[in-house]
A and B are shown apart, each in its own frame.
Chain A
Amino acid sequence: DVKVTQSSRYLVKRTGEKVFLECVQDMDHENMFWYRQDPGLGLRLIYFSYDVKMKEKGDIPEGYSVSREKKERFSLILESASTNQTSMYLCASRLTGKIEQFFGPGTRLTVL
C-alpha cells in the first residue's frame, strides 16, 4: 500500500513565524504535490515537483516555497506565516505516467 505521511495533523503558529510542513512517501514516486483545501474553493495546487531538486509553481505559490532534496520527502515552507494561510494542507504523490494521486492525511494549520 502506498503511504504518504505528513509531519503534523494540527499546527498552530503565530503571524510572522516560519513554518515547515513535511511530507514523506514510501513508494518511490517521482511526482509530489502540495495543495491547500478551503471550503468552497476545493483543492488548489501550491507547488509540485517532478523529481529530486525539481519544482514548479502551481496556481497559488505566493507566500510559499518548497524543497525536494530527497525523492521521498517534499517540504512546504511558509517564510512568514499570515492569517490568510490558515487552511488544510494536503500532500500527494504520484508515479510518473500514472493517473492516481495518493494523498497524505493533511495538516490543519491555524495562523493566529
Chain B
Amino acid sequence: RKEVEQDPGPFNVPEGATVAFNCTYSNSASQSFFWYRQDCRKEPKLLMSVYSSGNEDGRFTAQLNRASQYISLLIRDSKLSDSATYLCVVNKGTSYDKVIFGPGTSLSVIP
C-alpha cells in the first residue's frame, strides 16, 4: 500500500459545483497534514494546512479523520481558476521535517 493515496481523477465539474477530494494515508503516527495546489506546468504551492478540528478558508474546507486515516478537501462554488492538481501531503511518521506527497487529484472546472 502506498503511504499516501489519492484518486487521480480527473474530476470535471461545472462552474459553481461543489467537489470533494479524499486522501488516505498509511502511517497512523502522522501528525501534520496539508493540501498543496499545482497549476499546469507550475510548481506546487501550499493551499492550506489541515487541523484536527477541521478548518475553512473561504470556499475551501479541509477535514481530518484520524480513525479512518483520511483527509478531505471540499471546494464550494467552483471557479474556473480552481482548475489544478491538488496534492495531499502528510508528514512521515513523527518526523516534522519529512513529508510525503500524494500523486495528486486533477480538477477541471468547466464553463
A12 at the interface (CB under 8 A from B): no
Contact of B43 among A31, A42, A90 (CB under 8 A): A90
State the interface size on chain A (CB cutoff 8 A). 19
Q: Are B102 and A42 in contact (CB under 8 A)?
A: yes
Bound-complex Cα distance A44 to B4 (A): 11
A8 at the interface (CB under 8 A from B): no
Could you give, for residues 56-88 of chain B, a 1 whenever the CB lies within 8 Å of some chain A CB and a 0 otherwise? 000000000000000000000000000000010
A45 at the interface (CB under 8 A from B): yes
Q: Given that A40-B103, A99-B32, A99-B34 are known contacts, is A45 also in contact with B46, CB under 8 Å in the complex?
A: no
Interface residue ranges, B against A (CB under 8 Å): 4, 8, 32, 34, 42-46, 49, 87, 97-99, 101-104
17 pairs from A and B in contact (CB 8 Å cutoff): A31-B97, A35-B101, A40-B8, A40-B103, A42-B4, A42-B101, A42-B102, A43-B44, A43-B101, A44-B101, A50-B97, A58-B98, A99-B32, A100-B46, A103-B43, A103-B44, A105-B43
